[in-house]
Structure 1
Amino acid sequence: MTNKKTIMFDINNILRSNIKNLKPYSSARDEFQGEASVYLDANENAFGSPLHTSYNRYPDPMQYQVKMRLAEIKGVPPRNIFLGNGSDEAIDILFRSFCNPGVDNVILVPPTYGMYEVSANINDVETRKVNLTDDYQLNLEGIAEAIDKNTKIIFVCSPNNPTGNSINRDDIETLLANFQGLVVVDEAYINFSRQKTFIQELTEYANLVVLQTLSKAWGLAGLRVGMAFASEEIIEVMNRVKPPYNINEASQQLALEALQNTEQVNNWIKETLAERDKLVLQLKEFDFVVDIYPSDANFILVKTTDAKGIYTFLVNNGIIVRDRSKVELCEGSLRITVGTPQENTILINTLKNFK
Structure 2
Amino acid sequence: MNMSFNLNALLRDNIRKLVPYSSARDEFKGEASVWLDANENPFGSPLPHDYNRYPDPLQHQLKHKLSKIKGVPAEHMFLGNGSDEAIDLLYRAFCTPQVDNVILVPPTYGMYEVSANINDIAVRKVNLTNDYQLNLDGIAEAIDQHTKLLFICSPNNPTGNSINAQDIETILVNFNGIVVIDEAYINYSKQKSFTQALAEFPNLVILQTLSKAWGLAALRLGLAFASKEIIEVFNKIKPPYNINQATQDLVLEALDGVDIINEWIKATVAEREVLVSKLATLAQVEHITPSDANFVLVKLSEPRALYAYLVEQGIIVRDRSKVTLCEGCLRITVGTKPENERLLEAIQTFYN
Is the aligned partner of 1:129 residue 2:155? no
Is the aligned partner of 1:162 residue 2:158? yes
Do the aligned residues in 2 keep the contact of 1:7 with 1:179 (CA within 8 Å)?
Answer: no
- In the comparison of the two structures, how many residue pairs are matched? 351
Give the unaligned 5+ runs of structure 2: none
Identify which of 40, 44, 50 aligns with 2:40.
44
What residue number does 1:344 align with?
Answer: 340
Q: How far does the alpha carbon of each residue in 1:312-332 deviate from its partner, in whole angstroms, 9 at most, with x for none?
A: 000000000000000000000
- 1:1-355 map, 5 Å: 6-355=2-351
- Deviant stretches of 4+, over 3 Å: none
Instruction: Give the whole-Å Cα distance in 1 for the aligned partners of 2:322 and 2:48.
Output: 47
**TM-aligned CA deviation for residue 349 of structure 1:** 1.4
**TM-aligned CA deviation for residue 287 of structure 1:** 2.1
Do the aligned residues in 2 keep the contact of 1:69 with 1:256 (CA within 8 Å)?
Answer: yes
**TM-aligned CA deviation for residue 350 of structure 1:** 1.4
Q: How far does the alpha carbon of each residue in 1:287-314 deviate from its partner, in whole angstroms, 9 at most, with x for none?
A: 2211111000000000011110110000
- One-letter identity of the residue aligned with 1:221: A
**TM-aligned CA deviation for residue 342 of structure 1:** 1.1
- One-letter identity of the residue aligned with 1:63: Q
Percent identity over paired residues: 67
Instruction: Give the whole-Å Cα distance in 1 for the aligned partners of 2:262 and 2:207.
Output: 20
Instruction: Give the whole-Å Cα distance in 2 for the aligned partners of 1:193 and 1:281.
Output: 18
Instruction: Give the whole-Å Cα distance in 2 for the aligned partners of 1:281 and 1:72.
Output: 37
In structure 2, the residue corresponding to 1:18 is in which secondary structure? helix
Do the aligned residues in 2 keep the contact of 1:185 with 1:209 (CA within 8 Å)?
Answer: yes
**TM-aligned CA deviation for residue 353 of structure 1:** 1.0
**TM-aligned CA deviation for residue 59 of structure 1:** 0.6
Q: How far does the alpha carbon of each residue in 1:260-312 deviate from its partner, in whole angstroms, 9 at most, with x for none?
A: 11000000000000000000011112222111110000000000111101100
Q: How far does the alpha carbon of each residue in 1:31-70 deviate from its partner, in whole angstroms, 9 at most, with x for none?
A: 1101100111111111111111111111100000110011
**TM-aligned CA deviation for residue 155 of structure 1:** 0.2
Give the unaligned 5+ runs of structure 1: none
**TM-aligned CA deviation for residue 7 of structure 1:** 3.5
Instruction: Give the whole-Å Cα distance in 2 for the aligned partners of 1:251 and 1:306.
Output: 42
Q: How far does the alpha carbon of each residue in 1:9-30 deviate from its partner, in whole angstroms, 9 at most, with x for none?
A: 1101100000001111111110
Do the aligned residues in 2 keep the contact of 1:288 with 1:305 (CA within 8 Å)?
Answer: yes
**TM-aligned CA deviation for residue 75 of structure 1:** 1.2
In structure 1, the residue corresponding to 2:350 is in which secondary structure? coil
- One-letter identity of the residue aligned with 1:276: R
Instruction: Give the whole-Å Cα distance in 1 for the aligned partners of 2:133 and 2:261.
Output: 29
- TM-score normalised over the length of structure 1: 0.98
Q: How far does the alpha carbon of each residue in 1:128-147 deviate from its partner, in whole angstroms, 9 at most, with x for none?
A: 00000000000000000000
- TM-score normalised over the length of structure 2: 0.99
- One-letter identity of the residue aligned with 2:76: N
Instruction: Give the whole-Å Cα distance in 1 for the aligned partners of 2:257 and 2:105.
Output: 35
